[in-house]
């Protein structure tokens, strides 16, 4: 019998590619996103249900509806967004929205799914972090903070759920061509008069360039599908270019001053 995976944030980008790769690998895929209505479904073998991970009620409804179709052998969490802006000018509300979606969205999903997996005697929980879960870059502080929160939370989660046969995997993608800029708004207070304007423009150009020239999301989807087929999955799966692996290495081993010099030269 086909194994079942629930995938959040599967209406576009890396979530959609991962859902398609898992379907192609024989998984029964139940996908969630805000833009999925409860009406007619495309006939592509993926079941789509509405889901807003920032709403407890929506998360509960999604999990109840999905559980009626099939309980999850795996949960893959891709729902995410970012707001670009300086630390000084990004509003508290903008920080809250990013953390609520990226980090607390996963907390809500896990709180619903863990009891189901415990009762079944196991499961796999995959959480999309980022290279930014490991290092900060300028003007992405809300996003970077949310991804660091996911990294810390996942370490705790993995230790707690091991006795129940539940495995946890962090996916740490580098830049990929997700094909969408719609969840990357500029902070409302950023303007041409900003004291950060020149460096902000340089950094956001670089960020946009890196993403539009990033890696193929199809390949990422297939790598995740292949990894999920394994009996034992790794705790961390970094899917990134050589340069981005190198950036993590520089950040970890060469000290704060060299790291800052390298990153400022690159972005600012």
Ligand X SMILES: NC(=O)c1ccc[n+]([C@@H]2O[C@H](COP(=O)([O-])OP(=O)(O)OC[C@H]3O[C@@H](n4cnc5c(N)ncnc54)[C@H](OP(=O)(O)O)[C@@H]3O)[C@@H](O)[C@H]2O)c1
The residue ranges that bind ligand X (CB under 6 A) are 8-15, 33-35, 51-54, 78-81, 101, 128, 130, 173, 175-176, 178, 180, 183, 211, 214
Helix axes 256-267, 242-253, angle to 10 degrees: 140
Least separation in angstroms between residue 121's CB and ligand X is 28
Ranked by CB distance to ligand X, the top (closest) residue is: 13
**Is 143 part of the annotated catalytic residue set?**
yes
CB burial of residue 83 (10 Å; 0-12, 13-18, 19+) = buried
Q: Which is nearer to ligand X, 11 or 110 (CB)?
A: 11
**Is 202 part of the annotated catalytic residue set?**
no
Catalytic site residue from 141, 146, 147, 178: 147
Catalytic site residue from 103, 143, 200, 267: 143
The C-alpha angle 175, 54, 236, rounded to 5 degrees, equals 40
Instruction: Please give the radius of gyration of the chain, using alpha carbons only, rounded to the nearest integer.
Output: 19
Catalytic site residue from 86, 129, 130, 141: 129
Least separation in angstroms between residue 123's CB and ligand X is 20
Least separation in angstroms between residue 124's CB and ligand X is 17
Q: Please state the φ and ψ torsions of residue 166, each to the nearest 5 degrees.
A: -100, 125
Q: Which is nearer to ligand X, 5 or 53 (CB)?
A: 53
Least separation in angstroms between residue 33's CB and ligand X is 3
Q: Which is nearer to ligand X, 226 or 232 (CB)?
A: 226
**Is 11 part of the annotated catalytic residue set?**
yes
Least separation in angstroms between residue 156's CB and ligand X is 19
**Is 189 part of the annotated catalytic residue set?**
no
- Which residue, 192, 193, 212, 88, is CA-closest to 139? 88
Q: Where are the alpha helices (DSSP H) in 125-179?
A: 141-161
Q: Which is nearer to ligand X, 35 or 232 (CB)?
A: 35
Cβ atoms 75, 86 nearer than 8 A: no
Q: Which is nearer to ligand X, 67 or 164 (CB)?
A: 67
Question: Annotated catalytic sites, by residue?
Answer: 11, 129, 143, 147
């Amino acid at each position: 019998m086909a194994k079942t995976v629930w995938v959040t944030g599967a209406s576009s980008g890396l979530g959609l590619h991962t859902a398609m790769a898992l379907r192609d690998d024989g998984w029964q895929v139940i996908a969630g996103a805000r833009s999925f209505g409860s009406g007619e479904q495309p006939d592509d073998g993926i079941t789509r249900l509405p889901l807003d991970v920032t709403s407890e009620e929506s998360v509960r409804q999604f999990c109840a509806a999905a559980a009626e179709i099939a309980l999850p052998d795996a949960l893959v969490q891709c729902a995410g967004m970012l707001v670009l802006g300086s630390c000084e000018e990004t509003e508290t509300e903008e920080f809250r929205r990013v953390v609520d979606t990226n980090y607390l969205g996963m907390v809500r999903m896990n709180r619903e799914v863990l009891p189901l997996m415990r009762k079944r005697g196991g499961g796999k929980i995959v959480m999309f972090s980022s290279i930014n879960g490991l290092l900060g870059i300028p003007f992405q502080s809300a996003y970077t903070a949310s991804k660091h929160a996911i990294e810390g939370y996942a370490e705790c989660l993995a230790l707690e759920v091991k006795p129940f046969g539940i495995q946890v995997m962090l996916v740490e993608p580098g830049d990929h061509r997700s094909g969408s800029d719609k969840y990357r708004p500029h902070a409302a207070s950023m303007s041409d008069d900003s004291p950060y304007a020149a460096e902000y423009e340089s950094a956001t150009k670089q960020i946009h360039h890196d993403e539009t020239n990033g890696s193929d999301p199809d390949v990422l989807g297939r790598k995740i599908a292949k990894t999920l087929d394994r009996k034992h999955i790794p705790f961390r799966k970094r899917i990134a270019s050589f340069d981005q692996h190198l950036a993590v290495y520089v950040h970890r081993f060469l000290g704060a001053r060299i790291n800052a010099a390298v990153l400022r030269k690159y972005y600012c």
